């Protein structure tokens, strides 16, 4: 059997790209090295009756998200999502409404009346900002610019802007974060019915549906590690999986950009591409999942803390079917420096600290735990730093004829998993248009 396109990597980016192309008539072969599909977006069945995602796993921007639009426009299906409730900030021993929505702004007590009044014009400015002009501007520089225009901002307003940037970019390296990327997130979120949502049935439901769509017009092979990509005269010829050579003139590497050179020698690319690709820094952190013997909170939105910056969610308050009746699943995440995730002692320190925060937020928390898991690792492929914003990461179409990329470290709009989803659309569109000379409507 011959294939129009081979996709290397069965994470969400590979699966989404494959599904779009399959729906548009392409014969797809998707090769995944592990025994499971979905990559970092998969969920597993854990203990009895729990569906557990990787960390907190929400869809940014609800119906305005790339993945929702891909399902609707490219796959002709309505993605079943549940909108999250408002965000709360746990600070000084109490939960506070977070003024990221108009309702939150009206009811919050983290701003006094004067600050609420002052914040209105600032928000208007933020929503009017031209994203492309601010990709190279760091968040602190942007805050300074706001102060030049609106006068000195109060500490609660500045703290709030920093927390929102940390939340949007999943990083606390505020001095490096791109204000264009962070504001783009606020702008998109402001048009959505909710800032975030959760797929009914967990991410597993999305992964399973994408697999079905691809299989309608192609093949998926797990435990199939691609060892190298064959290129002749700057054109793609196929891929090698062990001793098998599979021919195709279009290959998508739906793997993190740092792994490209494991499959294709650097000498095939320009020095600029190599430099851009090698230096991409991912978001990393420590996350803890808890199975709780009873419901300890009804809150159905993200919960934030500021020092340290953490985010947490009761996913079962969004979809109670992902836990056994009467029980609850709760996940907390703290972004960290890169060195933490490979150091057991540092992970333990973060974990102990998270347990203290949890027992402060929910007295008696420890006594409600049935099981818990701690993990540490890469979260998003590229932190939206000023040095690696969307225009400074590799594009989905490469310099090599027939070679494309998809995944959360490539140069498309968005932050976090949204990059992976958007890259799938950009990648499928580029391939479709290169091959058919017709436009893929988006």
Ligand X SMILES: Cc1cc2nc3c(=O)[nH]c(=O)nc-3n(C[C@H](O)[C@H](O)[C@H](O)COP(=O)(O)OP(=O)(O)OC[C@H]3O[C@@H](n4cnc5c(N)ncnc54)[C@H](O)[C@@H]3O)c2cc1C
Q: Is residue 200 a contact partner of residue 408, using CB atoms and an 8 Å limit?
A: no
Q: How far apart are the first and last CA of the chain?
A: 30
Q: Is residue 283 a contact partner of residue 171, using CB atoms and an 8 Å limit?
A: yes
Q: Is residue 407 a contact partner of residue 414, using CB atoms and an 8 Å limit?
A: no
DSSP character string of 63-91: GGSHHHHIIIIIS-----EEE----EEEE
Q: Nearest approach, Cβ of 432 to ligand X (angstroms)?
A: 19
13 versus 137: smaller Cβ distance to ligand X: 13
CA dist., res. 428 & res. 424, Å (int): 6
Q: Which stretch binds ligand X (CB under 6 A): 49-57, 78-86, 110-118, 119-127?
A: 49-57
Question: Radius of gyration (Cα) for the chain, nearest Å?
Answer: 22
Taking residues 29 to 48 in sequence order and writing x for each that binds ligand X by CB under 6 A, - otherwise, the string is --xxxx----xxx-------
Q: Is residue 401 a contact partner of residue 235, using CB atoms and an 8 Å limit?
A: yes
Structure tokens at 271: 């020095």
Q: Nearest approach, Cβ of 288 to ligand X (angstroms)?
A: 10
Taking residues 367 to 406 in sequence order and writing x for each that binds ligand X by CB under 6 A, - otherwise, the string is ------------xxx-------------------------
240 versus 349: smaller Cβ distance to ligand X: 240
Q: Is 184 in the site for ligand X (CB under 6 A)?
A: no
Give the residue, chosen from 3, 6, 14, 318, that forms a contact with ligand X under the rule CB under 6 A.
Answer: 14
Q: Nearest approach, Cβ of 420 to ligand X (angstroms)?
A: 4
58 versus 176: smaller Cβ distance to ligand X: 58
Taking residues 254 to 273 in sequence order and writing x for each that binds ligand X by CB under 6 A, - otherwise, the string is xxx--x--------------
Crossing angle of helices 113-128/179-191, nearest 10°?
100
Q: Is 420 in the site for ligand X (CB under 6 A)?
A: yes
CA dist., res. 172 & res. 46, Å (int): 30
Q: Of the candidates 7, 364, 376, 354, which has an alpha carbon nearest to the alpha carbon of residue 215?
A: 7
9 versus 99: smaller Cβ distance to ligand X: 9
108 versus 172: smaller Cβ distance to ligand X: 172
Structure tokens at 165: 């940037």
Q: Is 60 in the site for ligand X (CB under 6 A)?
A: yes
Q: Is 411 in the site for ligand X (CB under 6 A)?
A: no
Q: Looking at residues 279 to 318 of the shown chain, list those that interact with ligand X (rule: CB under 6 A).
A: 287
Q: Is 56 in the site for ligand X (CB under 6 A)?
A: yes
Tokens 């003024």 -> residue: 99
160 versus 410: smaller Cβ distance to ligand X: 410
185 versus 256: smaller Cβ distance to ligand X: 256
**Entry field: residues in the chain:** 442
CA dist., res. 379 & res. 401, Å (int): 31
Taking residues 138 to 167 in sequence order and writing x for each that binds ligand X by CB under 6 A, - otherwise, the string is ------------------------------
Q: Is 252 in the site for ligand X (CB under 6 A)?
A: no
Q: Nearest approach, Cβ of 395 to ligand X (angstroms)?
A: 15
Rounded (5°) CA angle 214-215-221: 95
Q: Is 225 in the site for ligand X (CB under 6 A)?
A: yes
Q: Is 229 in the site for ligand X (CB under 6 A)?
A: no
Q: Of the candidates 240, 237, 232, 264, which has an alpha carbon nearest to the alpha carbon of residue 251?
A: 237
Q: Nearest approach, Cβ of 196 to ligand X (angstroms)?
A: 7
Interface size with ligand X, residues (CB under 6 A): 36
DSSP character string of 25-74: T--EEEE-SSSSSBGGG-EEEETTTEEEESSS--EETGGGSHHHHIIIII
14 versus 195: smaller Cβ distance to ligand X: 14
**Interstrand relation of 218-221 and 196-199 (parallel, antiparallel or unpaired):** unpaired
Residues near ligand X (CB under 6 A): 8-14, 31-34, 39-41, 54-58, 60, 225-226, 254-256, 259, 287, 379-381, 407-408, 416-418, 420
């Amino acid at each position: 059997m011959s294939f129009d396109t081979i996709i290397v990597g069965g994470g969400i980016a590979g699966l989404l790209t494959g599904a779009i192309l399959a729906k548009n008539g392409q014969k797809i072969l998707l090769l995944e090295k592990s025994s499971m599909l979905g990559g970092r977006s998969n969920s597993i069945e854990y203990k009895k009756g729990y569906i557990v995602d990787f960390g907190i796993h929400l869809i940014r921007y609800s119906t305005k998200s790339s993945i929702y639009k891909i399902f609707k426009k490219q796959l002709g299906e309505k993605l079943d999502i549940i909108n999250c409730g408002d965000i709360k900030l746990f600070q000084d021993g109490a939960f506070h409404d977070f003024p990221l929505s108009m309702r939150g702004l009206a009811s919050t007590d983290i701003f006094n009346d004067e600050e609420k009044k002052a914040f209105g014009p600032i928000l208007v400015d933020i929503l009017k900002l031209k994203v492309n002009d601010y990709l190279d501007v760091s968040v602190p520089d942007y805050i300074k610019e706001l102060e030049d225009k609106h006068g000195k901002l109060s500490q609660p307003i500045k703290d709030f802007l920093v927390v929102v940037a940390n939340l949007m970019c999943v990083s606390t390296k505020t001095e490096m974060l791109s204000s264009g990327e962070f504001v783009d997130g606020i702008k998109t979120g402001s048009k959505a019915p909710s800032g975030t949502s959760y797929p009914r049935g967990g991410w597993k439901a999305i992964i399973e549906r994408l697999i079905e769509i691809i299989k309608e017009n192609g093949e998926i092979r797990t435990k199939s590690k691609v060892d190298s990509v064959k290129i002749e005269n700057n054109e793609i010829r196929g891929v090698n999986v062990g001793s098998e050579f599979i021919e195709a003139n279009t290959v998508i590497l739906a793997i993190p950009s740092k792994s490209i050179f494991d499959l294709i020698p650097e000498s095939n690319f320009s020095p600029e591409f190599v430099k851009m690709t090698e230096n991409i820094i991912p978001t990393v952190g420590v996350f803890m999942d808890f199975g709780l013997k009873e419901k300890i909170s009804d809150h159905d939105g993200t919960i934030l803390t500021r020092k340290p910056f953490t985010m947490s969610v009761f996913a079962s308050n969004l979809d109670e079917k992902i836990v056994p009746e009467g029980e609850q699943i709760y996940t907390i995440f703290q972004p960290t420096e890169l060195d933490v995730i490979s150091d057991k002692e540092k992970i333990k320190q973060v974990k102990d600290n998270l347990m203290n925060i949890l027992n402060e937020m929910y007295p008696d928390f420890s006594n409600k735990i049935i099981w818990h898991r701690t993990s540490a690792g890469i979260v998003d492929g590229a932190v939206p730093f000023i040095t690696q914003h969307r225009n400074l990461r590799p594009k989905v179409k490469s310099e090599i004829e027939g070679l494309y990329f998809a995944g959360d470290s490539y140069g498309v709009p968005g932050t976090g998993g949204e990059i992976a989803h958007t890259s799938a659309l950009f990648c499928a569109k580029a391939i479709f248009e290169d091959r058919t000379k017709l436009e893929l409507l988006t």
